[in-house]
Structure 1
Amino acid sequence: MSNEQQTVEQPGPNDQGGQGVTFTPPASQDEFNRIIADRLSRERAKFADYDDLKTKAGEFDKLTEAQKTDIQKANDRALAAEAEVAKFKDREQVTKWKAEVAAATGVPATALSGSTLEDIQAHAEVLKPLITTPPAERGPQVPTEGTGNPGDRVTQLAQTDLASMTPAQINEARRAGRLNRLLGIS
């Protein structure tokens, strides 16, 4: 490269019709550093109030959060209360359904399980034949108090488990041939 300066014409933003602005590259590193420093100072001047704006924005966010917190606390309490009421209403509805199904089928409401009317009705249909079958047809009865025979206690525990089974589990036990065993029927 030679030491002579190169001049390049570049079109400027206000140029019209091909007239260009003359560009002369910096002759030394010091001149280049000065040009860069000038450019940086102009850019920094654009954002001189950035720290003040950032501080003000932070204060605004804190104030908004403080106000929102009181409102949010009230909303959270209201949502929790509504959820509790809904839970009690659901429990009351399930109890009503169990009473209705018990009256219609003769199966005790305490023996029924399920969280929907359809589940409760299906469980009642599974239990109804077991309850309405005469004792002579059911087979040997399991005593309510243990007679000292360990097999009686196992059968009694199995019947307790039966009361907590869902209709689907009872049907599965019936299909697998385990239902009679659970009931103590030979």
Structure 2
Amino acid sequence: MPDDDTQQQQAAESATLEEQLKAALAEVEKWKGLSRKNEARAESNADKAKKFDEHEEANKSEIEKITARAEAAEKAIAERETKEAAAKLREEIATEKGFADRKIKASALRGSTREELEAHADELLELVPAPPAAPSAEGQGQVGAAIKDGEMSADDIVAAATTP
């Protein structure tokens, strides 16, 4: 009978091994299925992440474009304000120095500071002679009044002035 016990024991061990093998194979299949699900989910998430990144990049470039436009506008405004302030300063100095009397335009002034502009104004005033003083109005009649009968006409005045 020891043979029967050994055979029964071997059969029981064999059945237990087969059950363990079947259980292990079932466990492997279960984990393969879960792994495939995780791979599919990861692939889906990767696609979504890529689309999200593209969307973020597109928004970022729009923000960069808007920021660049704003910076350019601010720069243009600052340049215009600087030019306007410089032109106003030139006009102010030209008025102070009496450029209108000598028919010098304020735009002729060069320099970036008030001191430089004033120094250049002084140089220009030295170069451009002062206009001669106008003759007095004495003896020329009343200013703005019409020429009366019996007085000389413009042609008579010219003829009298040009005869030797």
- TM-score, normalised relative to structure 2: 0.41
The structure that is helix-richer by fraction is 2
- TM-score, normalised relative to structure 1: 0.37
